[in-house]
Amino acid sequence: MSLLELRQVDKSYRQGGLFGPREAVRVLDRASLDVGRGECVALLGPSGAGKSTLARIALGLEWPDSGEVRFDGMPLLDDRGRMAAATRRAIQAVFQDPYGATSPRFSAFEVIAEPLRYAGLSGAPLRARVRELAEQVELDPGALSRLAHRFSGGQLQRLCIARALALQPRLLVLDEAVSSLDLTTQARVLALLTGLRRRHGVGFLFITHDLRLLRGFADRVLVMEDGRPVEVDDPFAPEPAIPALARLQAAMLPARPGLRPGPSRGHKAPAPQ
Ligand SMILES: Nc1ncnc2c1ncn2[C@@H]1O[C@H](COP(=O)(O)OP(=O)(O)OP(=O)(O)O)[C@@H](O)[C@H]1O
């Protein structure tokens, strides 16, 4: 049984207005998706393809117009749009902007401690758990008294990951979670996430527009095409049948442009030293 299941989900938004008519624009069109236990499913697509809409629906933050969303075999939300407390703990998210996702008044300690306090932890057990989580994301527990916003973007994002892991989730929705980081920090955070997933068996829904991030990270790759995720075997295969994937491939820069052979421009790979 899948951990997260979306079946034939539709979602439209009313757009326009002000001077023109407001029209319903369909963002998700019979979208289906599964994430298994401990599985990393990447959802890829250009800007505006509906990835974040799908993520919000998977997190129970938005209600689909039609279709089914299930977590662990049960409807994600009840008839009145409420989520069971255990499910709320089991599904956590990390978003693109760690500065927007944390209070500038909070110390690093408070950022991680916040969900734990809600869960009733306090005193020495709270301090020990915060320290343990900081160590898991390779942050120096000695720096926890500093204001979180004095951290670098990469450190702050690791703090957000520690906060998301605090209640031992079973599913982590990572919506462009490493997109704002530099390449080295991205690689470090992705390696860290892979380690955490293997150790704790957490399922990932990893949303990105950046194809390069998928190498060695995702178990399965889905690409948003016409409002629904389409599974692809090899996202790097040349001449993909899915136009959105072809555009994402074209947007991928070579890691070392000078080394790409290009006879028409006379580029040559340097001779070995
Ligand atoms: N609350 C809303 N009201 C109206 N339109 C919305 C709303 N949320 C999203 N949209 C529209 O739905 C479409 C899909 O947006 P969404 O944020 O899901 O795309 P995305 O693939 O995540 O893009 P990006 O990578 O740029 O974040 C866009 O055209 C967006 O303007």
Cβ burial 197-214 (10 Å sphere, 16+ → b, else e): beeeebbbbbbbbebebb
**What is d(CA 202, CA 47) in angstroms, rounded to the nearest whole number?**
27
261 pLDDT more than 90: no
- Which of 131-140, 217-226, 240-249, 251-260 shows the lowest mean pLDDT across its residues? 251-260
**What is d(CA 175, CA 228) in angstroms, rounded to the nearest whole number?**
17
At 264 the pLDDT is 38
Residues 6+ apart with CB under 8 A from 227: 26, 27, 28, 29, 30, 31, 49, 50
265 pLDDT more than 60: no
Q: Atom 1 in ligand 1: which residue has the minimum CA distance?
A: 13
Six-digit token string for 36 = 């298994």
At 81 the pLDDT is 87
Q: How confident is the model over 61-100, as pLDDT tens digits?
A: 999 999 999 999 999 999 888 999 999 999 999 998 999 9
**Residue at 89 is within a domain:** yes
Band (134; pLDDT cuts 50, 70, 90): very high
At 257 the pLDDT is 54
122-138 mean pLDDT: 94
User: Ligand 1 pocket: which of 9, 10, 13 to mutate (most atoms <8 Å of CB)?
Assistant: 13
Q: Rounded to whole angstroms, what are the CA distances from 26 to 47, 69, 207?
A: 15, 18, 20
**Residue at 220 is within a domain:** yes
**Residue at 46 is within a domain:** yes
Q: Rounded to whole angstroms, what are the CA distances from 191 to 11, 173, 217, 266?
A: 34, 16, 8, 37
Q: Atom 7 in ligand 1: which residue has the minimum CA distance?
A: 13
Q: Which segment, 19-28, 104-113, 233-242, is predicted with the most confidence on average?
A: 104-113
At 39 the pLDDT is 94
Band (230; pLDDT cuts 50, 70, 90): very high
At 256 the pLDDT is 56
Under 8 Å between Cβ of 3 and 37: yes
**Residue at 216 is within a domain:** yes
**DSSP for residue 218:** -
How many domains is the chain partitioned into structurally?
1
**Residue at 113 is within a domain:** no
At 268 the pLDDT is 39
At 262 the pLDDT is 42
Q: Atom 6 in ligand 1: which residue has the minimum CA distance?
A: 13
Higher model confidence: residue 130 or residue 201?
Answer: 130
**Residue at 197 is within a domain:** yes
At 270 the pLDDT is 39
- Measured in angstroms, how far is the CA atom of residue 54 from the centroid of ligand 1? 10
**Residue at 85 is within a domain:** yes
The total number of residues shown for the chain amounts to 273
263 pLDDT more than 50: no
34-59 mean pLDDT: 94
ipTM: 0.96
**Residue at 112 is within a domain:** no
Under 8 Å between Cβ of 159 and 106: no
User: Ligand 1 pocket: which of 6, 11, 12, 27 to mutate (most atoms <8 Å of CB)?
Assistant: 27
238-242 mean pLDDT: 87
136-158 mean pLDDT: 92
- Measured in angstroms, how far is the CA atom of residue 26 from the centroid of ligand 1? 10
Residues 6+ apart with CB under 8 A from 125: none
Under 8 Å between Cβ of 6 and 76: no
- CA dihedral sign of residues 97, 111, 171, 64: negative
Q: Rounded to whole angstroms, what are the CA distances from 60 to 40, 50, 91, 95, 170?
A: 20, 15, 9, 15, 15
At 192 the pLDDT is 85
- Which of 137-151, 161-175, 247-261 shows the lowest mean pLDDT across its residues? 247-261
Under 8 Å between Cβ of 164 and 173: no
Q: The domain that contains 69 carries what CATH number?
A: 3.40.50.300
At 9 the pLDDT is 98
Residue 90 is part of which domain span? 4-14+24-102+168-251
